[in-house]
Chain A
Amino acid sequence: MSTFAELLLNGLSMGSVYALIALGFVVIFRATEVVNFAHASLLLAGGYLTASLHDDLGFWPALAVGVAGAAVVGAAVEFCVMRRYRGQDHSVLAIVTIGVDILLTTELTRRLGTDVLPLGDPWGDSVLTVGSVSIAHTRVAAFVTAALLIGLFLAAFRYTSWGVAMRAAAESPETAALMGVRLGRVSLGAWAVAGALAAVAALFLTVFPTPGLERATSLAALKAFPAAILGGLDSTTGALVGGLVVGVTESLATGYQSDLTFLGRGLGDLAPYLVMTAILLIRPAGLFGTKELARV
């Protein structure tokens, strides 16, 4: 039983990190209707900045630089590439983000090489034990931070004028523009926020028990895609639920894989995608996504 509780808690903690990434992804989609395939490389960029600066600056300043850097990279992608596209077709823009992703990922993995960089976090490998359940400090920190950031973001989304502008732009870009919402600024803001959230997530994807920032980190970040789509691409609630579902599934599949050996090794990496496929078979718009209605 205590194994199950540990796996569940770890899963929820990882899930909240995936939810952070998926949230950024959904924000970009809502503000600009672009599916951002470069999201994993934004995350890698933030993580790389933090990892390479923490020796000189100390951990917290380095993390701040990493978050700011990823936000700047996101905003730069929006400003230099997305904004220059003159066509109407959003699936072509999705392909452009694939091009951006190829560029960023190639550069970052070339710099990383085969290294595994620690991020110099203060939690180390200490473990919190309550009763018979023990959980790493990093996992607790991940859950608390993600919950705080997500709460902060949702509050801002609901109550600030920035959030109202963003929701208006998502609802109807033309009307929003007529009401004086500056669409360029909205999408710039969305990309910057997504980058910042991804950089925070990069920290928690690479702390204990994972060895550190390496090439495979971008593969871990990819799990936010099933999280976002199984919750529904246009729903912030969906991103949160999707993130948790992916995290818990992955954790349980990894934890119990000795009982599931007939399915092969490395089941934990596969499980999120299987869950996504199963959910899409039943609900093509995701759990919380708006069903598409067409009025003619």
Chain B
Amino acid sequence: MSEVPVSEARTSSGRRSLKRPPGQTARTFLKRPRAYAWAAGSVLLLALPFYLDRFWLQAGLFAMAAAIGAIGINLLTGATGQLSMGHAFFLAVGAYGYCVFAGEGDGLTGLGLPTWLAAVLAVLLAGVAGGLFSPIAGRLRGAYLGIATLALIFIGQHVLFNAGDLTGGSNGRAVPPLSVFGLTFDDREAVVAAVPFGSAEKLWYAGLVLLLGCGLFARGVLRGRPGRALNAIRDHRVAAGVLGVPVARYRAGVFVLSSMYAGLAGVLLALVFQRTVPDYFGMTLSLEYLAMIVIGGLGSVAGAVAGAVLVSLLPQLLTRYSEALPLVSAPGTGGIAPGEASRYLYGAAVVAVVLFLPGGLISVAARRPRSTPGEEA
């Protein structure tokens, strides 16, 4: 049992270097069907703002923000086996941190910093919040940590409702639009190729860039030395310690990293919502993020993104097409409201995926490429 992580690391890295010497990477890349799928996918994503209306763009932006947060929590729960029920708190820290750093002149405390700096500081603030919790996050394991992080949700809700000077209390707080290098992501319309570009269209591209960066960074972490160490901690904590992995430090570190991901997701969500309200950052949100990574696939970046897209688009889809669907009806009319229907669906999906599809949805997609050697999801 104890030598499993090591031997796995050796064989897979050894095999990869045998199959793909550095010089041939470009040529083999062009032969792979995956490369074309990637290219087609990115062209599609880049073109979407020219065709979709605001509703779908916002839904897509929610999905992107959720994907960033889900990648972060997947580093923690999927790769390291540490459960967190408190991620909604870090999302709130990111969202409200941005408002406090950037906000000015709305009667609430605000530092009025340049918005890009505020966004960076908000992410760092989420990291600091994660770091403050790290004495606990480093020492507790698995589901234990899950219960301990419940405390964060309640502390978060308490602060959000009571520190009215910072958060605006239950009314929430308006979010100042982001502006980077003179480009402001607000609703003043700029017309690009005869399509009016409002905040949703502009943010769409910012979201894509952020998601790509976050995804690549997490992939780097997972595939490199830290990722091996994290997986070793998940699979066999004692063995990992014996091999020289500082278990507590890695657990604390990955907790901080994943809270920074959550902070960034919070900033993006705040920018899309244009107003932050405390009710949103409750326990349901944390459970949603856990559902995302389980449904998508624990421990992989692609899985987190797939799950995030599914779980965050589901309620939007059901709301939009509630008339056409059986059983689902508008809220307050007696039937099953779209929000509830989507909770049924993803709750059942969590159970079904763990029982019948332990690798998550992404394992279905990865099954075929795995038959060609040298390819890993």
Chain A residues with CB under 8 Å of chain B are: 35, 37, 81, 84-85, 87, 89-96, 98-103, 106-107, 110, 222, 225-226, 228-229, 233, 263-267, 269-270, 273-274, 276-277, 280-281, 284, 294, 296
Contacts and interface: CB of A to CB of B under 8 A. Distances in A.
Given A266-B161, A273-B155, A35 B143 contact: yes
Contact of A99 (B148, B155, B294, B358): B294
Contact of A91 (B139, B142, B351): B142
Given A95-B83, A102-B287, A296-B238, A284 B139 contact: yes
Given A99-B291, A266-B161, A270-B155, A280 B347 contact: no
Chain B interface secondary structure, helix, strand, loop or mixed?
Answer: helix
Contacts, number: 124
Interface residues of B, number: 45
Chain A interface secondary structure, helix, strand, loop or mixed?
Answer: helix
B155 A264 contact: no
Nearest to A292: B141
Contact of A96 (B147, B238, B350): B350
Identify the interface centre among A263, A267, A284, A296: most chain B CB within 10 Å of its CB.
Answer: A284
A91 B155 contact: no
B348 A95 contact: no
Given A91-B83, A98-B350, A102-B350, A273 B150 contact: yes
Identify the interface centre among A100, A106, A266, A276: most chain B CB within 10 Å of its CB.
Answer: A106
A100 B351 contact: yes
B146 A35 contact: yes
A99 B356 CA distance: 14
Interface of B: 77, 81, 83, 85, 135-136, 139-140, 142-144, 146-148, 150-151, 154-155, 158-159, 161-163, 237-238, 242, 287, 290-291, 294, 298, 336-337, 340, 343-344, 346-351, 354-355, 358
A233 B151 CA distance: 16
B150 A225 contact: yes
B347 A100 contact: yes
B347 A103 contact: yes
18 contacts: A35-B142, A81-B355, A91-B81, A95-B83, A95-B354, A99-B354, A100-B347, A106-B347, A225-B147, A225-B150, A226-B147, A266-B161, A269-B158, A270-B154, A270-B155, A281-B135, A284-B136, A296-B242
